[in-house]
Amino acid sequence: MKFFSLDKTDVSSAAEPALKKLSQTFYGSHAVSDSDQHEEEGHSVKDLLHRLQIPVNTDTPDQLESDQTRDRGLFLARQERWEDLEDQIRTYDQNRTTTSAGTPLAELMLFGARADVVRAAEHALLHGHPARGADFFAGIEALEYMLEDYPDSYPLALIVAHMHIDIGWAWRGAAAKEDVRELNREAFQAHFERAESILSRFCPTKHHSPALSAARCALLPGMQNPTEKLCTEFEALIALDPANPRHMRALGNYLLPRWYGDFEQLDLQARRIAARTYDLWGAGAYAWVWFDALLVDPRGLEMVEIEYFLDGVDDALSRCGDQHSANLMAAHLFRSWQSAREQYSENGFRPDLPPALRDGFDMVVHDYLREIHPLIWGHAEIGFENTSRIISRERLAAKGRDIALQAVAMPFMSGLQNGQTVYFTPDGITQINP
């Protein structure tokens, strides 16, 4: 069957019961604060930015490589070149190949390969009808029938499973909330159950596959009691791919109170992962597990051991001091510093937090940051693991650029006010007096 064939000819299929059920049920019938904007001499940060000479990189190698890899997956799926797609996904997965920023290429290929079907489903759910000329359930069928032709291929099984997971989230909505309509919840559950049945045939450890293990973690929100398996599944994933901090970040996010944990459990797990990965990351894993969680829910600042966290930031950057990671940590610390000032300035609780986070931010800027990646700073304002599609990439980058330039100027404010020019180069920072 062609990928988007509208042919409704009956085909005997083991997938038909699940498809029929799905078809019949669902498819048929912050900014920089004012106090930081102005200094004693009356100069705003913006007035002095012309003396801050730091490269702004809007087209990072990671963004370009990510786009190319997703497009390749999309192209191969549209051409129905399943063997080529399978081979590339498997190779990337087994070799733990990532972009320069650590995004697994296997994950990007999987995303591209299912993109047409998922976009069509999202369009239909958003607008109440399919896009013109699109029959998105035919796309679901086509991928299901393709899987029957390759029953032993875990890379192709991952495409179909992730398709169902994505469409399930489209039905439910990605926010951690309980007020989901019954029909939407049932559709979410049905798609996740289908994804689970597909993945149950493949053991991540046997296949030595982080992609399979990550998919099992992605199934957790569809389980009745995900808390029971959450840490076990993520620990298995991190053991298969300990060099990739994205898994640690995802674990921390799911351990937030709004999902399946609490801050005490999150801190305990951060310490456990840090101990298990010490040879690779030093204290870095403690910072990575807390990373997204603190941006999503700054109340976690009350629980985090700030000295340990900042040691983790330094250890992580000393081991992967690329500019993507440096921007991640700088943007995180700046946002957390602002949150701590807002949260604790009035009641005096945890007075150690704001100055410690400020010192950590200054350390990252001086020791590691050499260029600005605007999108990272824009995402830090709304949480890295957000699912918002309201803000365009261009607007988010423009916002991020403004925030980053004003933030990075702060450690040099005295010199800038006195007429210094600050130059960032790959070899370091030079401050030239007037």
Residue pair 322/101 in contact (Cβ under 8 Å)? The answer is yes
Rama region for 433: left / alpha / beta (φ>0; ψ in -120 to 50; rest): beta
**Cβ atoms within 10 Å of 425's Cβ, excluding its own:** 12
Instruction: Clarify whether residues 341 and 281 are in a common domain.
Output: yes
CB atoms within 10 A of CB 305: 14
Residue 34 pLDDT more than 50? Answer: no
Predicted confidence band of residue 13 (pLDDT cuts 50, 70, 90) = low
Q: Has residue 9 been placed in a domain? A: no
* pLDDT band with cut points at 50, 70 and 90 for residue 5: very low
Task: Specify whether the CB–CB gap between 227 and 264 falls below 8 A.
Answer: no
Are 425 and 308 in the same domain?
A: yes
Question: If residue 53 lies in a helix (H) or strand (E), which one and from where to where?
Answer: strand 52-53
Residues 6+ apart with CB under 8 A from 391: 378, 382, 399
User: Which residues form the domain of 193?
Assistant: 60-241
Clarify whether residues 317 and 405 are in a common domain: yes
44 has which bridge partners?
Answer: 38
Q: Is residue 31 part of a domain?
A: no
Residue 11: pLDDT band (50, 70, 90) is very low
In the block, tokens 């992967």 appear at 320
Q: pLDDT band at 345, cuts 50/70/90?
A: low
Residues 110 and 207 in one domain: yes
Q: Write down the residue that tokens 């399930």 correspond to.
A: 168
194 and 300 together in one domain:
no
Same domain flag for 387 and 434: yes
What pLDDT score was predicted for residue 174?
Answer: 64
**Stretch 398-415: mean pLDDT:** 95
Question: Do 117 and 207 share a domain, yes or no?
Answer: yes
Residues 219 and 284 both lie in one domain: no
Number of domains in the chain: 2
Q: For residues 135 and 374, which has the higher predicted lDDT (pLDDT)?
A: 374
The Cβ of residue 71 has, within 10 Å, a number of other Cβ atoms equal to 13
State the amino acid at position 2 in one-letter form: K
Same domain? 190 vs 224: yes
Is 350 within a domain? Answer: yes
Question: What distance in Å separates the CA atoms of residue 374 and residue 393, rounded to the nearest whole number?
Answer: 10
Contact 420, 51 (CB under 8 A): yes
Show which of 241, 271, 306 is a domain's final residue: 241
Domain co-membership, 227 together with 267: no
